[in-house]
Amino acid sequence: MKNYNILKSVFVFILSVFLFSCERERNSDGNLDQFRLTATFDSGESITFKQFNPDESDAGLLICNCVFYDDQMVIAFGADHYRDPSKSNGFDAGFSVDGVTTQRAFEFREENASATNTSTYVERIAPGLDGFKIYDNKENYRRSINGSGFCIREELPVDFQSIDVTRYSSENGGTIEGSFSINVYHEQAACATYEKERITGVFKLKRINIR
């Protein structure tokens, strides 16, 4: 669950970073609404998340951000009702990529051993502390009941996570731009094949350097 914890901490941190960033950019001559991320989900729904002037939705504020821990880039986006145990909607999604020091394409499948290349989607489906469906890129299995009534499973490949950084800056507050396609999987409680969610999108964000 390390990748979920990294992305969760980043998303929770977004609110404080957002306030800091708004103050920092208040006197900017640029158009802050250009800094945004648009994601398209398997359902066909597309949602735009603004980095500085987030919109309200029925699932809460639509927020996104881009944080760097040295050369590890973490981009997170979501609707903040997911943090409220009294709600039954909202979500947190994002990806973490190691070794981002220039503009280029990055591609990987499963989460790596150090949990620095990860993709995660956390969907709130019910109130309460456990009212989540968690998707990640750790593993993917086909599961079924055999003739003896036992649940058997067959390992399947995890599809590629593709992040293309087309504009790069190492400066705190510099612009990071590109596109992404992530494939994440949810282990269902019953003996069933893992549920898959594909999220694609584009982003143009100001980076926040944590260290």
Instruction: Write down the residue that tokens 């998707």 correspond to.
Output: 135
Mean predicted confidence (pLDDT) in 72-76: 96
Q: Quick one: pLDDT at residue 13?
A: 47
pTM: 0.87
Q: How many domains does the chain have?
A: 1
> 115 pLDDT exceeds 90?
no
SS3 state at 35: coil
Comparing 52 with 8, which gets the higher pLDDT?
A: 52
Tell me how far apart the alpha carbons of residues 6 and 11 are, in angstroms, rounded to a whole number.
9
Other Cβ atoms less than 10 A from the Cβ of 137: the count is 25
80: Cα within 13 Å, side-chain hemisphere: 18
Tokens of residue 90, six digits: 């909202």
Domain span holding position 44: 2-209
DSSP E strand boundaries for the chain: 36-40, 46-50, 62-69, 72-79, 91-97, 105-108, 118-124, 132-136, 141-145, 151-155, 161-167, 175-186, 195-209
Instruction: Kindly report, residue by residue over 133-155, the tens digit of the pLDDT.
Output: 999 999 999 999 999 999 999 99
Q: Mean pLDDT score of the chain, rounded to an integer? A: 88
Assess contact for 109 and 161: CB atoms under 8 A. Answer: yes
Q: Which two tokens stand for residue 105?
A: 């394409």
Rounded mean pLDDT, 72-100:
94
